[in-house]
Amino acid sequence: MKRLADRAAIVTGAASGIGRATALRLADEGATVLCLDVQADAVAEVANDCGTRARSRVCDVSDPGACREAVASALEAFGRLDVLCNVAGILRFAHTHELALADWRRMLDVNLTGTFLMCQAALPHLLERQGCIINTASTSALAGLPWGAGYGASKAGILGLTSALAVEYGKRGLRANAVCPGSIKTPITKTPMPADIDPSLVQRLMPLDTPRGPEAVAGVVAMLASSDGAHINGEHIRIDGGTLA
């Protein structure tokens, strides 16, 4: 399928995991893609894999200037912006009473504020194209993630932000949706947990059948970015193998 043959997209966190799978899927469906990440070599490799029309750029989404420059570079390269996929995120596990304030702030800076900053920079151009935003939340925004208070709080904030964008700009043709992955095999799932955890709580993170790769999320993102998602706005979609069913 080439559902996105006439679309230009930005994907943050594109160097690995869901971001990488999303960039590759959008490119495979015909989109031109600007791949953003803080990992220069890895994100350049992903852009190369996306094809000759793709571009890469180093971008720390917690930096307002970097976000504005990234959007400007997409416009310069593609002449338009139709799709913004906010995937960049970090995770730190800790007992909540031991969670370092610096780690709390960094998760909010990257996961939530970074999503906001990219949306803010891209919105005027997305409105011109009646484009769409797909934000990456998490099942931790919908149910408690043990040892993940900071991560869950940042992801729940993304759901609130997404709903606000949908209501504020929906009548102007913009769509804003979120995906809530869970039980997806990516590098972030290898984040160390505290040594003295309660193993029974880990079962809360398990799907009904089996964990799957990031391609499971990328396929839903591609649908939301395409005309197949034209009547979906202000929604969040769980992609978790029934973990929260």
The DSSP string of the chain is --TTTT-EEEEESTTSHHHHHHHHHHHHTT-EEEEEES-HHHHHHHHHHH-TT-EEEE--TT-HHHHHHHHHHHHHHHS---EEEE---------GGG--HHHHHHHIIIIIIHHHHHHHHHHHHHHHHT-EEEEE--GGGTS--TT-HHHHHHHHHHHHHHHHHHHHHGGGT-EEEEEEE-SB-SGGGGPPPPTT--HHHHGGG--SS--B-THHHHHHHHHHHSGGGTT--S-EEEESTTTT-
Mean pLDDT on 152-167:
98
Confidence tier at 119 by pLDDT (50, 70, 90): very high
Catalytically annotated residue among 78, 116, 151, 169: 151
Mean pLDDT on 38-61:
98
Mean pLDDT on 205-234:
96
pLDDT > 80? residue 1: no
Look at residue 69 in the predicted model and tell me its pLDDT.
Answer: 98
Strand order in the sheet with 132-136: 55-58, 32-37, 8-12, 83-86, 132-136, 175-181, 236-239
Structure-token pair, residue 23 = 């960039």
Among 27-41, 191-205, 219-233, the minimum mean pLDDT is found in 191-205
What CATH number labels 8-239? 3.40.50.720
Reported as a single tens digit per residue, the pLDDT across 166-217 is 999 999 999 999 999 999 999 998 899 999 989 899 887 889 999 999 999 9
Look at residue 204 in the predicted model and tell me its pLDDT.
Answer: 77
Over its C-alpha atoms, the chain yields an Rg (Å, rounded) of 17
Q: How far apart are alpha carbons 77 and 60 in whole angstroms? A: 19
Look at residue 189 in the predicted model and tell me its pLDDT.
Answer: 87
Please say if 169 is a catalytic residue: no
Question: What residues have CB less than 8 Å from 171, skipping those under 6 apart?
Answer: none
Look at residue 203 in the predicted model and tell me its pLDDT.
Answer: 80
pLDDT > 80? residue 232: yes
Does the predicted model carry a pTM greater than 0.75?
A: yes
Look at residue 205 in the predicted model and tell me its pLDDT.
Answer: 82
